[in-house]
């Protein structure tokens, strides 16, 4: 049995999934759709998909899995368009940074009998310093992908999502919808907001016309996150969707800055030095852990090598009733 998977959004993330899944062509047929026709055609030329469908409805109508890797602001309109095309048993996944909001949209738009699971991929550490426009078949190899789903999601859906993660070379990490939003707010969204705020504040200063001539590596590096989000609309909507988490983070940062300001005012340089050294040490420790991709606190009992390989489990999962072929009105059995 060949499973039909449709990838909507063929940028870096979607293409990376498609390229990684090319090793499993005997099990999967990969369709793809991107609103930019040239991007879709290029993805097919590179081997990220077997078939490019310019029409979104054609892309999903026979899909067993639909993986949405578009920016957050495009997900709700996509779900509204495809909801009537999905067959019973289809599993819809996404890679957004606002899982609670996407789960609400899925509940509104997915027809009965279809299921939703969110994926949060973490890139292979060897590509951390690379431009985000470049993709690779091993972009998620030797890393983790968080799997999160609403309550009462069938076990078969979880198993399928786990196998998909295994097929792209990553390790699954099961996380609650609310928890993953908090983690991503801290790790991914807040740097973009803080970067944007700093760049905006500095450039609006009266002396910027002269200061810009002296700005070097530090300003360059700290400004990069502000230039890496897909669009201002996407970032604003992602911020709004994670508002409570981000407000807590921003309040914490404001508190830290005020504390450091007070140390300066009081002439308590040793305390400020201690704070700065701690920040430096913490960051260096994270860099080392991230490069090695070793997260002992997340290790499963007995180690990851105790998880059956994807080849051991695929046959059983793909044969389950989640993908039973149901006759649609006017369609074929």
- Spatial distance between the Cα atoms of 57 and 165, rounded to a whole number of angstroms: 26
pLDDT in tens, 28-44: 999 999 999 999 999 99
pLDDT at 222 over 50: yes
- Tell me what the mean pLDDT of segment 59-84 comes to: 96
Q: What CA–CA distances, in Å, run from 15 to 133, 138, 173?
A: 11, 11, 22
The pLDDT, as a whole number, for residue 130 is 83
> The tokens 């609670």 sit on which residue?
100
Question: What would the pLDDT profile of 138-193 be if each residue is shown by its tens digit?
Answer: 999 989 999 999 999 999 999 999 999 999 999 999 999 989 999 999 999 999 99
CA distance 209 to 150: 51
Short-list 110, 147, 86, 109, CA closest to 323:
86
Buried b (16+ CB within 10 A) or exposed e, 10-44: bbbbbbbbbbbbeebeebbbbbbbbeeeebbeebb
- Residue 228's pLDDT is 80
Classify 165 in phi/psi space as left (phi over 0), alpha (psi -120 to 50) or beta.
alpha
**Percent of all residues in the chain with a pLDDT value above 90, rounded to a whole number:** 77
CA 151 to chain CA centroid, nearest Å: 21
Cβ neighbours of residue 171 closer than 8 Å, sequence gap 6 or more: 143, 144, 145, 165, 304, 307
Backbone angles phi, psi at 145, to 5 degrees: -130, 120
Q: Which pLDDT value is given to residue 297?
A: 52
The beta-carbon contacts of 34-38 under 8 Å, at least 24 apart in sequence, are: 34/8, 34/9, 34/10, 35/74
Closest listed residue to residue 94, CA positions, set 68, 71, 66, 113: 68
Q: Residue 53: pLDDT above 60?
A: yes
Q: What is the pLDDT of residue 292?
A: 84
pLDDT at position 328 is 39
Residue 326 pLDDT greater than 80, yes or no: no
The pLDDT of residue 296 is 52
Q: What is the mean pLDDT of residues 107-131?
A: 93
Q: What is the pLDDT of residue 298?
A: 41
**What is the distance between the alpha carbons of residues 175 and 84, in angstroms, rounded to a whole number?**
30
Domains and CATH numbers, the chain: 3-175+304-323 (3.40.50.720), 180-292 (1.10.3660.10)
**Cα(128)–Cα(323) distance, rounded to whole angstroms?**
36
């Amino acid at each position: 049995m060949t499973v039909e998977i449709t990838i909507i959004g063929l940028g870096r993330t979607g293409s990376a999934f498609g390229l990684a899944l090319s090793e499993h062509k005997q099990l999967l047929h990969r369709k793809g759709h991107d609103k930019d026709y040239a991007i879709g055609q290029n993805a097919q030329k590179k081997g990220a998909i077997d078939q490019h469908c310019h029409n979104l409805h054609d892309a999903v109508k026979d899909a067993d899995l639909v993986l949405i890797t578009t920016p957050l602001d495009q997900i709700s309109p996509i779900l509204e368009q495809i909801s009537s095309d999905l067959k019973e048993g289809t599993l819809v996944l996404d890679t957004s940074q606002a899982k609670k909001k996407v789960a609400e949209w899925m509940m509104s738009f997915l027809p009965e009998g279809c299921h939703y699971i969110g994926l949060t991929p973490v890139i292979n550490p060897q590509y951390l310093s690379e431009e985000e426009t470049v993709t690779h078949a091993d972009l998620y190899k030797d890393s983790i992908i968080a799997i999160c789903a609403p309550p009462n999601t069938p076990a078969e859906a979880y198993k399928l999502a786990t196998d998909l993660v295994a097929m792209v070379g990553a390790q699954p990490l099961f996380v609650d919808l609310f928890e993953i939003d908090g983690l991503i707010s801290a790790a991914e969204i807040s740097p973009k907001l803080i970067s944007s705020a700093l760049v905006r504040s500095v450039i609006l200063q009266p002396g910027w016309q002269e200061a810009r001539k002296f700005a070097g590596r530090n300003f360059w590096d700290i400004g990069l996150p502000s230039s890496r989000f897909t669009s201002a609309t996407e970032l604003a909507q992602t911020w709004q969707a994670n508002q409570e988490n981000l407000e807590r983070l921003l309040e914490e940062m404001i508190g830290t800055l005020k504390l450091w300001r007070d140390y300066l005012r009081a002439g308590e340089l040793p305390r400020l030095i201690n704070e700065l050294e701690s920040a430096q040490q913490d960051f260096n420790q994270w860099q080392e852990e991230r490069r090695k991709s070793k997260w002992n606190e997340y290790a499963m009992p007995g180690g990851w090598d105790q998880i059956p390989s994807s080849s051991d489990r695929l046959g059983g999962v793909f044969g389950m009733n989640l993908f039973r072929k149901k006759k649609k009105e006017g369609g074929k059995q």
